[in-house]
A and B are shown apart, each in its own frame.
Chain A
C-alpha cells in the first residue's frame, strides 16, 4: 500500500502568517492516464473532512484562493498564504492513484 507521510504533525501559526504542509508518498502518484490523484482535505473540529485541493493543484469550488497546492511524483505541498481563524483544524493528504486509496496521518493547524 502507498504510505503518505505528512510533516509537520502540528503547526502553530498566527493569523496572517503563511504556512506549508508537506506530503511525501512512498511511490509515484502519477497515474497511467497522466493524472496525479493527490488531494488535500481539511477537517475542522467536530466536522467531516472537506475537499480543498484536488489533483495536486486544482482549487475546489468555493475554497479561498489563499490555499494552493503544488508538487509532482512523490513530493507535494499545501500552502496557506495568510492563515485565517477558519483555517484551523487537521489537514490530510489523500491519494486516489493506487488502490487501496490511502490518507496521510494529518497535520493539525493551531493558533500560536
Chain B
C-alpha cells in the first residue's frame, strides 16, 4: 500500500538549514508529483513546492531562494532543504503525493526553530 514517511531534526537553530527526507513506498516517484506542505501556528497550511515525476521542480515564491526540493528515485526518497531558518518556520512539515491534488500524506515531522 501507499506510504509516505518524513524524517528530520526536531530542533534547528535560527539561520541554519533544515533538511527533511520523505521516504515513500507502494508507488514510483517517476510516476507521481511529490508536494511539500507545512503547517505553522501563524499561517496554517502552506504549499511549499513540488517535484514533478520527471524531476523538475516548482516553488512557492513565498520561500524565495531558501527552498530546494530534490529526490533519489533509487532510494524512493524526496528531500526538502530550506536555509536561513527563522523562528516563524516552526511547524509540522508534510510530504504529500499528487499533481494538483494531495491524495496521500505522510505523518509529518515537527520542526522547532529555536536557539
Contacts and interface: CB of A to CB of B under 8 A. Distances in A.
Contacts of B94: 48-49
Interface string B86-112: 000000001000111111111110000
A60 B35 CA distance: 18
B45 A103 contact: yes
Interface stretch (B21-29, B55-63, B75-83): B55-63
A27 to B, nearest CB: 16
Interface in A2-39: 31, 37, 39
Interface residues of A, number: 22
Contact of B102 (A39, A97, A99, A106): A39
Interface of B: 35, 44-47, 58, 60-62, 94, 98-108
14 contacts: A48-B106, A48-B107, A49-B45, A49-B94, A51-B102, A51-B103, A96-B102, A97-B100, A99-B58, A100-B60, A100-B61, A101-B35, A101-B47, A106-B44
